[in-house]
Amino acid sequence: MPQAQPLETGDPARLGAYRITGRIGEGGQGVVYLGEADSGGFVAAKLFHARLGQDPVFRDGFMRELDVAKRVARFCTAQVLDSGMEGNRPYMVSEYVEGPSLQQVVSSEGPRGGSALERLAIGTATALVALHDAGVVHRDTVAPPTSATSRPVQHHCYTRR
């Protein structure tokens, strides 16, 4: 089973069709949870903060942008599987990419160098091109959501070009 932190008081037990089993992380936009589909597969589910869900401009843009994000090539990013509303808070569900984050790898092994760094850079650049080709611009490209497998994890808001 993938590693996750325990759920906290007030965390949802389910988001849509997915049973929430733990916390993966938390950021400025919301909390990313580890979830499990009825089929038994793991997913990453991001529940946005209530303040964002109360903003009609954000909420409307989020739903439009998810449709665009679903067109991104599957080999480049964690595929968006589902989305919805939990009360007045939007959420999105993507496939769970197993493996340590780039931040964890650098913390334990040191910075990437040589061909390992080149593979990571090429994988990240390829994913950003795929996002751009699908009509989205990633507004929050940071190291932690990038997995050490060179497959960026898609947990951030997008905007149309």
Q: State whether the Cα torsion 136-139-145-151 is positive or negative.
A: positive
Active site residue 133: no
∠ CA 30-128-74, nearest 5°, is 80
Q: Which of 60, 67, 133, 140 is catalytic?
A: 140
Assess contact for 139 and 158: CB atoms under 8 A: yes
Assess contact for 122 and 112: CB atoms under 8 A: no
Cβ neighbourhood burial of 90 (10 Å; 0-12, 13-18, 19+): buried
Assess contact for 76 and 153: CB atoms under 8 A: no
- Provide the annotated active-site residues: 140
